[in-house]
Chain A
């Protein structure tokens, strides 16, 4: 399948994701109680051959902690919120507050991260939905811990799946951590997305 995205479509995608990421950052800021300044997203569309290298570049660490959700509707995608392994405890502690003991914190860390993933990934997809006038249904969030390539591509039915890499630096000062968003799309879904971006561009022309 031929895949092509023009410069203007790519620019539009960056702007759309930028708005989505802004909403996601706002949500994360409310969770951790401090200002989160996301970088402007960079978007790379990667084919399977390039993906392994790209993941190491994104996370700078081989092992990651991730929350994934499947979005179906206007286009289908698997979205990931990713943190480097070992960098999530402080985020969860800030979410739950001082009333939760260290023991409870440890027991609830996975659930808390799923809730954080649910909020952030839905913030982003809701922005896409509003801008592109499409609707999404989202699955229940799933927690993953392990090597980046195994997690990201474990359930990929097709080796030709594309990685739309929306790389944002969710720098969280107190947690000394960065967060990342990654969207995985199949080629047909990618084509649906580019058609919708084209409609969006026609609407603002």
Chain B
């Protein structure tokens, strides 16, 4: 049995329910990973400065600044952060913005399949 290295994930979502779902599914797959949470884009920007997580799951539709804007700011000072946008907003232009920024794109709702998709993306970029 191989043991995967412990990684840290910052979950950014204004919905507590979405955060719980993402956290529970990640921990069911990687019980030893370190999970932290931010409830909006601004908090995420601050947390990445302090915690330097390996991976970030980023909601799109949040108060103040959206997930794309938050990811943009994070990548300016922490360009090695691997970010996947989690969103129900699957409009082509949102997809294009994520692609331009070089971040992953995962459709909501949060399911085991979608989390696996995000984890595969994180793994491919590590």
Contact = CB atoms under 8 A, between A and B. Distances in A.
Contacts of B61: 118, 122, 138, 140
Nearest to B61: A138
B88 interface: yes
B107 to A, nearest CB: 8
Contact of B88 (A100, A122, A136): A122
Interface string B1-42: 000000000000011111011001000000000000000000
Contact of B17 (A30, A99, A112, A136): A112
A30 B111 contact: yes
B67 to A, nearest CB: 12
Interface residues of A, number: 28
B88 A140 contact: no
A91 B49 CA distance: 38
Given A118-B61, A122-B61, A129-B91, A27 B17 contact: no
B18 A115 contact: yes
Given A114-B15, A118-B15, A119-B109, A96 B88 contact: no
A68 interface: no
Interface of B: 14-18, 20-21, 24, 61-63, 87-93, 108-109, 111
Contacts of A31: 109
Contacts of B21: 95-96
Given A30-B109, A99-B24, A135 B17 contact: no
Contacts of A129: 91-93
Given A23-B90, A129-B92, A140-B63, 10 more contacts: A108-B17, A114-B15, A115-B17, A119-B109, A122-B61, A122-B89, A126-B90, A129-B93, A130-B92, A138-B89
A111 to B, nearest CB: 5
6 contacts: A27-B88, A95-B21, A96-B17, A111-B16, A118-B108, A122-B87
A27 B89 contact: no
A126 B92 CA distance: 8
Contact of A122 (B17, B18, B90, B92): B90
A120 B21 CA distance: 17
Contact of A135 (B14, B24, B93, B109): B93
A171 B89 CA distance: 23
B91 A118 contact: no
